[in-house]
Amino acid sequence: MQRWNRKKAHFPLLVLFFLVFVAVTTFLHSESSIHQIHENPDHVHNHQEASPVVYVKPNLPAHLNRASGILDRFSGCNSTKEYSGRKISWVDRSQQPGKRREGLQGCDIFSGKWVYDNTSHPLYIESDCPYMSDQLACHKHGRSDLGYQYWRWQPHNCNLKRWTVAEMWEKLRNKRLMFVGDSLNRGQWISMVCLLQSVIPADKRSMSPNAPLTIFRAEEYNATVEFLWAPLLVESNSDDPVKHSLNERIIRPDSVLKHSSQFEHADILVFNTYLWWRQGPVKLLWTDAENGACEELDGLGAMELAMGAWADWVSSKVDPLKKRVFFVTMSPTHLWSREWKPESEGNCYGEKEPIGVEGYWGSGSDLPTMRMVDNILSKMSSKVTVINITQLSEYRKDGHPSIYRKFWEPLPPEKLSNPTSYSDCIHWCLPGVPDVWNELLFHLL
Ligand SMILES: *[C@@H]1O[C@H](CO)[C@@H](O)[C@H](O)[C@H]1NC(C)=O
Ligand SMILES: *[C@@H]1O[C@H](CO)[C@@H](O)[C@H](O)[C@H]1NC(C)=O
Ligand SMILES: *[C@@H]1O[C@H](CO)[C@@H](O)[C@H](O)[C@H]1NC(C)=O
Ligand SMILES: *[C@@H]1O[C@H](CO)[C@@H](O)[C@H](O)[C@H]1NC(C)=O
C-alpha cells in the first residue's frame, strides 16, 4: 500500500510551493473586503516597535537579544555550515504524568469509517458563510459533484457527540479560541467560523483581517475565534502571511516566543505544522549565532527542533486546568492516483468518492514524521490533546478543491487543457473534511 518514490518527491514540493503561495494570496484577497471593526489592545500588531526581549528566550542576555534581531522575509544567512547536532532541551513538567484528558477510554474516535449521510451533513451551506475563502469554495468555483459534502465520520466503537452550534458557543463564552499554524489550519479555522457564525446577527459579529492574526468576534458571547499564521511554529522568515521568502526557509529553532506573545493568552489553542517542513532543507539561525551564521538541516530534523521548542513552551506555560491545547496531526495530500488506483497517472482531480480500504495510507503522510510527532506528544499527554486527523483524511481523496477554487495567477492554455497539472490536492473544500476535524474538536472539548 505504501509507495515511496524518490524521483517524484521533488515535484509535489514545487506544487506545494506554488499552492501555498497562491493560497495565501487568495486568502488575503478574499478577506480584504471585510471591515476591521475594532482591535484588541492585548495584541501586539507591530513587531518592530515591540520590545525585542519578548521574542527570544528570556534567559538570554539582553545584548544578544538585540543583536540577533527578529527574522522576517528579508533575513538571510551570512554563511551556512552543516548542522552541529545541537538539540532543544525541554523537560516535561506535567504534574500528573500519564493522565490523559480525553476521558473516553475504550473508544478511539479516530478509528472508524465514512458514512454517506445527506441528512446530517453538510453542517452549513457554502454560500451562507460570508467568511468563506475563495480557495476552498469549491461549489462556487464550478464543482458540480457535491458528494464530498455529505460524509459523516463514524467511529467504530462509539458515536461522536452531535455537533450543536449553541453548545459550542456556550463552551466558548468569555473565551479566546485560537488556531495557530499553516494554511491547512487556516482552513479548519474558516470551517469553525462558518460553523459558528450563522446564529450570530450580522451586527453582533466582526472579522478583523489583521494578518498575521485574524480575529472573528461574537459580541454577545464575548468570544473570539482567531487564526495566527505561524506555518513553522517557531520564529521564521516565512511569518508574513502574504510575502514569504520562498528561496530558503530560515528558522530560529530555539524561539517560539515571537508567536507565543500573541497566543499565550488564548484559552483554547489548536496547533498544526507539517507541510512546510516537506520542502527540502531548512536553515537554522540559533538565537545566539554569531555573525548570522546558519546551520543546515533536513526538514524532519528541523521540525523536530521546532516541536521541541513548542513543547518547551507548552510544558512550562500551560496550566491544563486553565487552558486547553490541541495538536492536529498531519493533513494528507493526494498527489498520485496510482497509490489508490494502480497504473493511473492522475491525482485527486476527478475523484468523487472516499477510499474504502480500511487502513489505506498514501505517501503524503510521512511515517518518520508521524513517529517523531508521536514521540513528542506522548510525553505531553496531560497537557495536549491530539486530534489525529491523518488516517480519516487519508480516505478522502474526493475532498480536495482540485481545479475548483480561485487561482490568482492566470493559467496558461497548456495548463488549462490539462487539469491535473494545476489541481490543488492539498487543501480541502468547505463544507467538507475540516468540518469533521472541528466536530472532533467539539467532541474532545
Ligand atoms: C439523499 O441521498 C439519497 C440517495 O442518494 C437521495 O435519494 C435523496 O434524495 C437525498 N436527499 C437529500 C435531502 O439530498
Ligand atoms: C470577556 O472575556 C475575557 C476573556 O477573553 C474576560 O477576561 C472578560 O472578563 C470577559 N468580559 C466579561 C464582561 O465577561
Ligand atoms: C554578516 O557578516 C558581516 C561581516 O562579518 C557583519 O557585519 C554582519 O553583522 C553579519 N550579519 C548578521 C545578520 O549577523
Ligand atoms: C495517529 O493515528 C495513527 C494511526 O492512524 C497512529 O499510528 C499514530 O500514532 C497517531 N498519532 C498520534 C500522535 O496519536
Report the distance separating Cα 24 and Cα 276, nearest Å.
Answer: 13
Across-strand partners of 213? 228
C-alpha grid cell, residue 373: 510527532
Asked if 396 contacts 435 with a C-beta cutoff of 8 angstroms, the reply is no
- Average pLDDT score, the chain: 83
The phi and psi torsions of 149 (rounded to 5 degrees) equal -85, -10
Q: At what angle do helices 433-444 and 183-197 cross, to 10 degrees?
A: 70
Q: Which ligand has an atom closest to residue 215 CA?
A: 2
Asked if 208 contacts 234 with a C-beta cutoff of 8 angstroms, the reply is no
Q: How many angstroms does the Cα of residue 252 sit away from the middle of ligand 4?
A: 28
Query: What is the predicted pLDDT for the residue at 246?
Result: 65
In which order are the strands placed within the sheet that holds 268-271? Answer: 205-208, 213-218, 223-229, 176-181, 268-271, 324-328, 384-387
| Catalytic residue, candidates 312, 366, 424, 435 | 424
Nearest-CA residue for ligand 3 atom 13 is 292
SS3 60: coil
How far CA 279 is from CA of 159, 350, 377, in Å, comes to 38, 26, 23
Please confirm, yes or no, whether 133 is among the known catalytic residues: no
Nearest-CA residue for ligand 2 atom 10 is 174
Does the CB atom of residue 292 touch ligand 3 within 6 A? yes
pTM of the entire predicted model: 0.84
Does the CB atom of residue 154 touch ligand 4 within 6 A? no
The phi and psi torsions of 73 (rounded to 5 degrees) equal -70, -10
Report the relative pairing of strands 250-251 and 282-284 from DSSP bridges.
parallel
User: What domains are defined for the chain?
Assistant: 66-444 (3.40.50.1110)
Does the CB atom of residue 381 touch ligand 4 within 6 A? no
Question: Per-residue pLDDT tens for 341-373?
Answer: 999 999 999 999 999 999 999 999 999 999 999
Q: How many angstroms does the Cα of residue 9 sit away from the middle of ligand 1?
A: 41
Ligand 2, residues at Cβ distance < 6 Å: 174-176, 222
Classify residue 237 as left (phi > 0), alpha (psi -120 to 50) or beta. Answer: alpha
Classify residue 106 as left (phi > 0), alpha (psi -120 to 50) or beta. Answer: left
Asked if 112 contacts 154 with a C-beta cutoff of 8 angstroms, the reply is yes
Atom of ligand 3 nearest to the CA of 291: 14
Q: How many angstroms does the Cα of residue 192 sit away from the middle of ligand 2?
A: 21
Q: Spell out the residues 6+ positions from residue 151 whose beta carbon is closer than 8 angstroms to its own.
A: 114, 115, 116, 117, 121, 354, 396, 436
Report the distance separating Cα 241 and Cα 259, nearest Å.
Answer: 13
Asked if 296 contacts 266 with a C-beta cutoff of 8 angstroms, the reply is no
Q: Which of 2, 372, 391, 444 to mutate to test the pocket of ligand 4 (most atoms within 8 A of CB)?
A: 391
Q: Which ligand has an atom closest to residue 329 CA?
A: 4
Name residue 173's amino acid. Answer: R
Across-strand partners of 114? 153
Q: In whole angstroms, what separates CA 239 from the centre of its chain?
A: 14
Query: What is the predicted pLDDT for the residue at 61?
Result: 40
How far CA 381 is from CA of 52, 66, 110, 270, 314, in Å, comes to 32, 36, 16, 15, 11
Please confirm, yes or no, whether 144 is among the known catalytic residues: no
Question: Per-residue pLDDT tens for 270-296?
Answer: 999 999 999 899 999 988 888 889 999
Q: How many angstroms does the Cα of residue 174 sit away from the middle of ligand 2?
A: 5
Query: What is the predicted pLDDT for the residue at 44?
Result: 28
Q: Which of 320, 257, 268, 308 is nearest to 58 (CA)?
A: 257
Spell out, as residue ranges, where the chain has pLDDT lower than 70. Answer: 1-68, 93-105, 210, 245-246
Cα torsion for 240, 241, 246, 250, to the nearest 10°? 50
Nearest-CA residue for ligand 3 atom 10 is 291
Q: How many angstroms does the Cα of residue 190 sit away from the middle of ligand 2?
A: 23
| Catalytic residue, candidates 139, 259, 427, 443 | 427
Q: Which of 318, 296, 256, 306 is nearest to 276 (CA)?
A: 306
Q: How many angstroms does the Cα of residue 115 sit away from the middle of ligand 1?
A: 13
**CA atoms within 13 Å, Cβ hemisphere of 349:** 15
